[in-house]
Amino acid sequence: MPEARTSTPRERYRTQVRAEIKEHAWEQIATAGASALSLNAIAKRMGMSGPALYRYFDGRDELITELIRDAYRSQADTLRAAADAGAGLAGLAHALRAWALDDPQRYLLIFGTPVPGYRAPDDVTEIAAETMAVIVGACAALPSASPSDGTADAFDAHLEDHRQWAGDDPAPSPVLHRALSFWSRLHGVLSLELAGQYTGMGFDPALLFDAELKDLLGP
């Protein structure tokens, strides 16, 4: 007989249904975007009628927040897994791009247009910090940032006074700078690609991504 029964059948059913709801929600978001997400449509597609979903989520906003949380979690796990597998900064970059292309709307749910008043819950920003920690770690493992060029960057000096977002990581500020640059630059090409801003231009976004990455890694 199973002794450590930490979950009742009811709880298991509940979490299973919640997961199924999110499944349908992701499907819907992938095909029509987050703004078109409809609780009613999800309920109908699950064979139950409208307001039943409110037993599982307080409303549309809570569902979306949960999806955002999962998206951040998935991103953090992906990058951490790559780092644990020994990937360097380049490996992280490609893991990030693969993750983004795997579900563009998931990426845009995090980094796309925010609603003006929205404030992400604390645990979500903690997951984001976790992701940044992985990136900072990979940057610290790099040969050297700003090597022979003796002139300290103005932003580096500024970062020295604003490094609390890196937690207790003792990395010197040029490393933090490189991490921010890494994140911002790759997001630049990635988000423009996902938003379709390059379509019609003809070139391969993957090559631009690699070019940016190479320039980012090179001296």
Partner DNA sequence: ACAGGGCGGTTAGAAGCTATCACGAACATT
Partner DNA sequence: AATGTTCGTGATAGCTTCTAACCGCCCTGT
Binding site for DNA (CB under 7 A): 8-10, 13-14, 17, 37-41, 43, 47-52, 54-56, 58-61
Partner whose binding site includes residue 31, from a second copy, DNA, none (CB under 5 to 8 Å by kind): a second copy
Burial group, residue 179, by CB count within 10 angstroms (0-12, 13-18, 19+): buried
Q: Which of 1, 4, 85, 115 binds a second copy (CB under 8 A)?
A: 115
* Total residues belonging to the chain: 219
Euclidean distance between CA atoms 191 and 173, whole angstroms: 26
Smallest gap from residue 190 Cβ to DNA (A): 29
- Residue with Cβ nearer DNA (28 or 173): 28
Q: Which of 31, 84, 147, 168 binds a second copy (CB under 8 A)?
A: 31
Partner whose binding site includes residue 215, from DNA, a second copy, none (CB under 5 to 8 Å by kind): a second copy
Euclidean distance between CA atoms 37 and 116, whole angstroms: 19
Euclidean distance between CA atoms 48 and 183, whole angstroms: 42
Q: Which of 93, 105, 134, 135 binds a second copy (CB under 8 A)?
A: 105
- Kindly tell me the number of DSSP H helices and DSSP E strands found in the chain: 9, 0
Q: Is the dihedral of CA 52, 56, 58, 59 positive or negative?
A: negative
Q: Which of 7, 11, 32, 51 binds a second copy (CB under 8 A)?
A: 32
DSSP string, 62-97: HHHHHHHHHHHHHHHHHHHHHHHTT--HHHHHHHHH
| Residues between 133 and 152 with contacts to a second copy, criterion CB under 8 A | none
Q: Which residues bind a second copy (CB under 8 A)?
A: 30-36, 105, 108-109, 111-117, 125, 128, 153-155, 158-159, 162, 164-165, 177, 180-181, 183-189, 191-192, 195-197, 200-204, 207-208, 210-212, 215
